[in-house]
Amino acid sequence: MKTVKRNVRPLPGFLMGLMLSASFVSYAAHAADTELENAISRGQHSFSHDTFGGNGKVCESCHLAGGKQPGKLPDGKTIPSLANAATIFPRFQQRTGKVITLTDQIRSCATNALQGTPPDYGSAELNSLASYITSIAQGKPINMGGTPQ
């Protein structure tokens, strides 16, 4: 029986490609983290400063300490913090008889409580606000339809 010799060489091209791929994945992950952090920061700024052209109030007028503590409505009624808000949506809203999302709720607050023009669905502003509110709930368990804390 004849033995066939094969030229077996390390695959330097493959290894180089693998290293470049790993670098790209690391860079892409860092870029994604940076973009997310930027969106959260923009959302936090909007939460504390944007009136949406309404009555001069901002989200933080009712949702105190950046939404991290219970707040108060203009009529003095206590409202829960937003600490778990992102974890309880979507949820059924009795008043409208519909299932609503976090972005629906954000737009509703801008329209009703702030008497302003809400950010458009899919807009960078609405996505940033939702990102900020979601960041407050980081690490909390998902509880769709649950009770605000």
Residue 107 contacts residue 119 (beta carbons within 8 Å): yes
Q: What is the pTM of this model?
A: 0.78
Residue 18 forms part of a structural domain: no
Residue 19 forms part of a structural domain: no
Residue 112 forms part of a structural domain: yes
Residue 102 forms part of a structural domain: yes
Residue 33 forms part of a structural domain: yes
Find the mean pLDDT for residues 50-73: 95
How many domains does the structure of the chain reveal?
A: 1
Domain hosting residue 132, numbered range: 27-136
Q: 31 falls in which pLDDT band (50, 70, 90)?
A: low
Residue 46 forms part of a structural domain: yes
Find the mean pLDDT for residues 75-88: 94
pLDDT in tens, 121-143: 999 999 999 999 999 999 999 99
What DSSP letter does each residue of 16-57 carry, written as one string? HHHHHHHHHHHHHHHHHHHHHHHHHHHHHHHHHH--TTSSS-
Residue 87 forms part of a structural domain: yes
Residue 131 forms part of a structural domain: yes
